[in-house]
């Protein structure tokens, strides 16, 4: 599986990128045929504390999954987005199992 991490209008440090890749790697235990993934990290220009946005797009055979979360830190946003994707993968696998 190939991951692409893009930070928009700032440079993400290696520690953050490594954290994101380790979290995304855990999705392999829920679906072994993930083709690729894209992560977009953004800073919202609002005055609230929860201004860090993580958007994750997963490519599966025949389907793309997407999650967007906004939190106080990029780590927290990534964790919640990965959890949302885990639930989407579970739903997707359940639907495929019922269709067979």
Average pLDDT over residues 1-17: 89
pLDDT at res. 33: 87
Domain enclosing residue 32, as ranges:
2-99
pLDDT at res. 5: 92
Domain count within the chain: 1
Q: What is the pLDDT of residues 26-70, one digit of tens each?
A: 998 888 889 999 999 999 887 778 889 999 999 988 889 999 999
pLDDT greater than 60 at residue 100: no
pLDDT at res. 53: 95
E strands of 8-100, at which residues? 36-43, 52-60, 63-71
Q: How confident is the model at residue 99 (pLDDT cuts 50, 70, 90)?
A: low
CATH number of the CATH domain containing 19: 3.30.160.100
pTM: 0.89
Of 96, 91, 40, the residue nearest 69 (C-alpha)? 40
């Amino acid at each position: 599986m190939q991951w692409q991490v893009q930070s928009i209008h700032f440079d993400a440090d290696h520690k953050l990128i490594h954290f994101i890749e380790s979290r995304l790697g855990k999705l392999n235990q829920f679906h072994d045929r993930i083709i690729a993934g894209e992560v977009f990290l953004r800073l919202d220009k609002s005055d609230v504390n929860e201004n860090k946005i993580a958007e994750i797009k997963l490519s599966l055979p025949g389907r793309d999954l997407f999650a967007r979360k906004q939190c106080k830190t990029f780590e927290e946003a990534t964790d919640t987005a990965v959890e949302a994707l885990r639930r989407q993968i579970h739903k997707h696998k359940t639907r495929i199992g019922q269709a067979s």
